[in-house]
Structure formats: structure tokens, C-alpha cells
Chain A
Amino acid sequence: GAGVSQSPSNKVTEKGKDVELRCDPISGHTALYWYRQSLGQGLEFLIYFQGNSAPDKSGLPSDRFSAERTGGSVSTLTIQRTQQEDSAVYLCASSWTGTNTDTQYFGPGTRLTVL
């Protein structure tokens, strides 16, 4: 079956512009994660959605970052007024139940470059 997809695969933007990154999780997965992967760093947790529960936004680095998940499926991560330090690969993952014993299935990521 289809895996997790993300779009765009690459995004180059100018400092100060807004960007939207999209994630399509595996159908039926109730949990969805966004991570940021910077060069030489591990995965940095950004936000977690589980069903209809309030998302855990504790990992969002600033109020320029926001995310939503519509209809329990597709998610969009928005970065407003992008800064050069926002340059990274943004990964989305989904899982059946969202517990940390559950396998997370990752998309290929969106590479964001802020000039």
C-alpha cells in the first residue's frame, strides 16, 4: 500500500516568506508526527497529532511555526516569516496508535532552504 508522502520534496524560499509543507499519512493511522532534521543532528520533535485530541505542540521552536491536521488525515506545517535557521529537512511520520511502542512510518521529507 501507499506509504507516507510529503510535498514538496524540495523548497527554496527567501527569508521572510511563508512556506507550507504537506504530509499525507498512511490511511488509517491515527497518529501523526512532524520532526525537523538538521545536518548532524538527530530528529527534533515538533508536533504530534492523535485522533481528535489536542495536539502536542511543545516542540514547535517559535510562534512562527504552526500545524494543522484536517479530517484526521492530511497535515500541513506552516512556517511564517522564514529565517535562515529554519533551513532543514522536515520529516513527517505516522503510526497506528501513536504510542511509543508503535512503529513510525516516515515520509521522504521536505528539504527547506531559506536564502
Chain B
Amino acid sequence: AQSVTQPDIHITVSEGASLELRCNYSYGATPYLFWYVQSPGQGLQLLLKYFSGDTLVQGIKGFEAEFKRSQSSFNLRKPSVHWSDAAEYFCAVGPTLNMDSNYQLIWGAGTKLIIKP
């Protein structure tokens, strides 16, 4: 079955430190890959997405993610976090094989990022 795993329920990082949030997926082919962020009291916002091509993807707010086919991973990174990055981050996968459900995404459970001052 298709699935998305975000192994870390929450992560605490000091302000200014680097960040990596993990995302692994299970799917029979290379899916479409997304990271969304949910700030407190706000809706989810797209950070970045990968469909094909260069495996290092740049997004908004200084985030990037790298697709690694061999590891079925799409980890999110930021070199230096700011207090405003405190939020919940969701990885999502879009199936590419079954065109009957080409509107659906499979979502991870989310990782809550806590920033220490």
C-alpha cells in the first residue's frame, strides 16, 4: 500500500541552527512529492514540490528538499532556522501510476518543529 512516513513527531532546534525533516514514502514508482507547512491558526501552505528533473528543489522561505530515489526519501532542509519557522510540516505524495485518482495526495502525519531561543 502507498504510504508516507515522517519518523519524527516533533523536533526541537535552536534558532540559527540547521534543520532536516525526514520523509520516506512507499510507492511503486517515483511519485510527485510535496512539502507543506501549517503555521498555528493558519491553513497549510505549499513550501516546495518535485515532479522530475533536478533532485534538489528550492522552495519558499529558504527551504530546500532533496529527492533520493534509492532511499525513497524527500527530506526537507534549511541551513538556519528562524523563530518564525516554528510550525508543523507535512510531506505528501501524489500517485503517478493510477490516473483514476490523479487528484489525490497521500499525507504524512506531520512533524512539529519547535524553535529554542
* Distance A105 CA – B102 CA, assembled complex (angstroms): 17
- What chain B residues lie within 8 Å of A103 (beta carbons)? 46, 49
Q: What's the least CB distance linking A23 to chain B, in Å?
A: 11
| Secondary structure of the A contact surface, majority rule | loop
Q: What's the least CB distance linking A79 to chain B, in Å?
A: 20
CA distance A104 to B36 in the complex (A): 10
How many Å lie between the Cα of A50 and that of B101 in the bound state? 12
Q: Is A62 an interface residue (CB 8 A)?
A: no
Determine the distance from Cα of A42 to Cα of B6 in the docked complex, in whole angstroms.
10
CB–CB B95/A100 < 8 A: yes
Query: Which residue of chain B has the shortest Cβ distance to A42 in the bound complex?
Result: B107
- B contact residues, total (Cβ < 8 Å): 26
Q: Which residues of B80-94 have CB atoms within 8 Å of chain A's CB atoms?
A: 90, 92, 94
Pick from A31, A43, A56 the residue with the most CB of B within 10 Å.
A43
Number of interface residues of A (CB under 8 A): 24
Assuming the A-B contacts A43-B90, A43-B107, are A106 and B102 also in contact, with contact meaning beta carbons closer than 8 angstroms in the complex?
no
Name A31's contact: one of B42, B90, B95, B103 (CB within 8 Å).
B103
6 A-B contact pairs sorted by A residue (CB < 8 Å): A43-B92, A45-B105, A99-B102, A101-B49, A103-B46, A109-B43
Give A contacts to B, CB under 8 Å: 3-4, 31, 40-43, 45, 48, 50, 56, 91, 93, 98-101, 103-109
